[in-house]
Amino acid sequence: MTSTLIADLLAHPADADRLMREACAALRARPAPLVPPDPTTLRTGLARIAQNGIDSGLDAVLHRLIDDAPKGSVTDELAALLRPPELAWDEAQEIDWAARHWDACRKEGQLDEELAADFGEYWRELEWSALRQHLVRIGHGHAEERRLLAHIAKTSSRYVAFGPLKRAMETRFPEFFEPGFTLR
């Protein structure tokens, strides 16, 4: 579904809101099975960011990403829709779509008690899902590496748990941390 949606969004950007709402409704109608994160591919992505191999700080980031969702996350599919490598949205738009999806999932009983009670926790989980996906794609040498790195820089700057990743990104890719940098 994601590749078809991306093609539609690229072909019809004016229809983005309608297309994303339809895609979110489809996710709720057919929730995807949870997929555990793969430590090997996450490690490869982290290694591509680090200049001198994975140190203990990045190893801690790896374990945090895995320990946060050992069986996968209910936010994985939405993260793939909101933060694909081919597109970037204004964060306000991402939050709007995520909040609408979260509210509908709550009403349909599709979230556990913790995620259903707090949109902030749901958003954090979504961002961490997207970070895992972006690291995997970086590890595979995805063609949209620059946009993926920008997403990684944004997320790593937000959460204390990703401080070592942020420092590695600042060292290797300082342009992503310059004032006024944008994904658009």
Residue 99 within any structural domain of the chain: yes
Measure CA of the first residue to CA of the last residue in the chain; give whole Å: 24
Domain containing 114 equals 2-177
Residue 184 within any structural domain of the chain: no
Which pLDDT score, from 0 to 100, does residue 6 have? 87
Mean local confidence (pLDDT), 126-131: 97
Which pLDDT score, from 0 to 100, does residue 184 have? 61
Which residue(s) pair with 164 in the sheet? none
Residue 147 within any structural domain of the chain: yes
Residue 87 within any structural domain of the chain: yes
Which pLDDT score, from 0 to 100, does residue 173 have? 93
Answer for the pair 24, 104: CB distance below 8 angstroms, yes or no. Answer: yes
Domain count, the chain: 1
Residue 128 within any structural domain of the chain: yes
- What digits encode the pLDDT tens for the residues 43-91? 999 999 987 777 888 999 999 999 989 999 999 999 999 999 998 889 9
C-alpha distance from residue 160 to each of 34, 39, 61, 80, 120 (Å): 26, 21, 10, 23, 15
